[in-house]
């Protein structure tokens, strides 16, 4: 979340930055400043009252020692009244602070300066395009028909077992899933990322820490009996490893990778754009997370983008890298690059990765700090990226590599699959 200092230092600039994300923040910012002023005034009044209370309490002992009992009793009555008023002020301070916090957490992160203006995906900027298209047979099949033809993914069985958006991978389809996960993890660990296997359910504090909660759009699956949430991405448990942690400057950069199944309700999703693997409620994803010093975080972001690009390039897929406009960015992000691969049978681009710098936004929620060389404690920066999300990668691999003989497996995956063709 934003800090009071970020909001108060330049109110006009704060409003302008959030307007780039399509948010009219002026009323909320006015409320935040008003509540913060009230909180400060209460604190001054409370401090004054507590000082008077302490002074009066000391006088009671002195008066009793001098045998001035009547005056001591009056002083006791004054202290009691001061305590009552202090308690009232403390209660008011708590209420104001809660209202202030609720207002602050309703505001998204500031976008970085280089974030383009815009409201929808059509306004995103293509920063790189690699058009290594493959020659397909006449009348190429979309991946959901290829899945049925080669009996590698069963969408109908998933509906029987759970519901729409929960496919069952079979045979070489299941093996391909496992191969991709292992290949991505090996690529990440070779680049210095520590592999962890986190829980796939998190508590409310973890969901709040990375900005998924409060879940305004109802996209998270909620295990109500225990108040746990199924993870929408490994970013949530991995980043929360460092919640309420103070690192040393020498600990950076922190680099972690993890595989988890991911769960998203995707409420309101329907139509041809969600057919097959295009949009699922449960899917596999390998994630990379970095913690960086503030002055190094954009260098880290560039490195993560280059890292993900290596993965996409190795799979031989046509791809493009987009810098997201303000209106298409997530609530928590300061700058996001999306990777899309081209589905040659569907004739459309499919998002397979988002790589983001959150600056100190998540760290403020997480209370994730570090001690600088001068022993001052300050907020770290957090970053994450999909490396990679599997469903649309699989969709593109099936469609773009189909031949009359079967579906070719990219060379880099053959050591992981144990086969070079799905037939």
298-319 pLDDT tens trace: 999 999 999 999 999 999 999 9
Whether 153 has a pLDDT exceeding 90, the answer reads yes
Give 304-350 as a DSSP string.
HHHHHHHHHHHTT--EEEEEPPGGGS-SS-SEEEEEEEEETTTTEEE
Asked whether 85 and 49 are in contact (CB, 8 A), the reply is yes
Asked whether 288 and 387 are in contact (CB, 8 A), the reply is yes
pTM, 2 dp? 0.92
Region 4-105: CATH code: 1.10.287
Domain locations in the chain? 4-105, 121-422
The whole-number average pLDDT for the span 333-352 is 96
Q: Are strands 222-223 and 319-323 parallel, antiparallel or unpaired?
A: unpaired
Asked whether 292 and 381 are in contact (CB, 8 A), the reply is yes
| Sign of the alpha-carbon dihedral angle for 221, 224, 226, 227 | positive
Q: Are strands 369-371 and 246-248 parallel, antiparallel or unpaired?
A: parallel
Residue 397 tokens, joined: 């691999």
Residue 215: pLDDT band (50, 70, 90) is confident
Residue 80: pLDDT band (50, 70, 90) is confident
What span, in angstroms and rounded, lies between the C-alpha atoms of 83 and 93?
A: 15
The whole-number average pLDDT for the span 280-284 is 97
Residue 270: pLDDT band (50, 70, 90) is low
Segment 127-137, tens digit of pLDDT? 999 998 888 99
Give 128-188 as a DSSP string.
EEE----PPPSSPPPHHHHHHHTT-EEHHHHHHHT-TT--EE-THHHHHHHHHHHHHHHHH
The whole-number average pLDDT for the span 34-50 is 94
Residue 74 tokens, joined: 């009056």
Q: What is the pLDDT of residue 102?
A: 95
Buried b (16+ CB within 10 A) or exposed e, 238-269: bbbbbbebebeeeebbbbbbbbbebbbbeeee
Whether 205 has a pLDDT exceeding 90, the answer reads yes
Find the range with the poorest average confidence among 43-47, 254-258, 307-311.
Answer: 43-47
CB contact set of 178 (below 8 Å; sequence gap of 6+): 416
Could you say which architecture CATH assigns to the domain 121-422?
2-Layer Sandwich (3.30)
The rounded mean pLDDT for the chain is: 94
Q: What is the pLDDT of residue 268?
A: 56
Residue 46: pLDDT band (50, 70, 90) is very high
Using only C-alpha atoms, what is the Rg of the chain? Answer: 28
Residue 313 tokens, joined: 């390039």
Q: Which one is predicted more confidently, 54 or 146? A: 146
Q: What is the pLDDT of residue 69?
A: 74
Residue 164 tokens, joined: 């729409």
Q: What is the pLDDT of residue 269?
A: 55
Asked whether 343 and 351 are in contact (CB, 8 A), the reply is no
What span, in angstroms and rounded, lies between the C-alpha atoms of 403 and 408?
A: 7
Buried b (16+ CB within 10 A) or exposed e, 329-365: bbebbbbbbbbbbbbbbbeebbebbbbbbbbbbbbbb
């Amino acid at each position: 979340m934003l800090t009071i200092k970020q909001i108060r230092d330049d109110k006009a600039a704060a409003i302008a930055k959030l307007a780039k994300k399509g948010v009219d923040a002026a009323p909320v910012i006015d409320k935040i400043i008003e509540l913060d002023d009230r909180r400060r005034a209460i604190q001054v009044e409370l401090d004054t009252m507590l000082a008077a209370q302490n002074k009066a309490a000391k006088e009671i002992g002195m008066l009793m020692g001098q045998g001035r009992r009547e005056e001591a009793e009056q002083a006791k009555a004054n202290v009691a009244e001061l305590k009552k008023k202090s308690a009232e002020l403390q209660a008011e301070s708590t209420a104001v602070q809660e209202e202030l916090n609720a207002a602050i957490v309703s505001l998204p992160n500031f976008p970085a300066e280089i974030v383009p203006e815009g409201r929808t995906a059509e306004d995103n900027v293509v920063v790189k395009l690699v058009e290594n298209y493959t020659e397909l047979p006449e009348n190429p099949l979309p991946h959901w028909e290829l899945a049925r033809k080669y009996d590698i993914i069963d969408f109908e069985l998933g509906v029987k077992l759970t519901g729409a958006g929960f496919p069952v991978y079979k045979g070489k389809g299941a093996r391909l899933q496992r191969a991709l996960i292992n290949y991505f993890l090996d690529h990440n660990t070779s680049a210095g990322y520590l592999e962890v296997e986190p829980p796939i359910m998190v508590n409310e504090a973890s969901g709040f820490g990375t900005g998924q909660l409060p879940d305004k759009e109802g996209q998270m699956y909620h295990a109500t009996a225990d108040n746990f949430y199924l993870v929408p991405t490994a970013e949530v448990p991995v980043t929360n490893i460092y919640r309420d942690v103070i690192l040393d400057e020498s600990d950076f950069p922190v680099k972690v990778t993890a595989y988890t199944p991911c769960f998203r309700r995707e409420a309101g999703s329907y139509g041809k754009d969600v057919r097959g693997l295009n949009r699922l409620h449960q899917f596999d994803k390998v994630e990379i997370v970095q913690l960086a010093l503030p002055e190094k975080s954009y260098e880290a972001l560039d490195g993560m983008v280059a890292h993900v690009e290596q993965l996409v390039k190795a799979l031989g897929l046509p791809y493009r890298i987009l810098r997201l406009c303000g209106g298409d960015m997530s609530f928590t992000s300061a700058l996001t690059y999306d990777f899309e691969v081209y589905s040659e049978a569907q004739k459309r681009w499919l998002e397979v990765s988002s790589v983001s710098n959150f600056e100190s936004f998540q760290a403020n929620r997480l209370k994730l700090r570090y001690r600088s060389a001068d022993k001052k404690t300050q907020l770290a920066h957090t970053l994450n990226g999909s490396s990679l999300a599997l469903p649309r990668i699989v969709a593109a691999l099936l469609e773009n590599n189909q031949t009359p003989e079967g579906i070719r497996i990219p060379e880099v995956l053959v050591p992981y699959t144990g086969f070079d063709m799905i037939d």
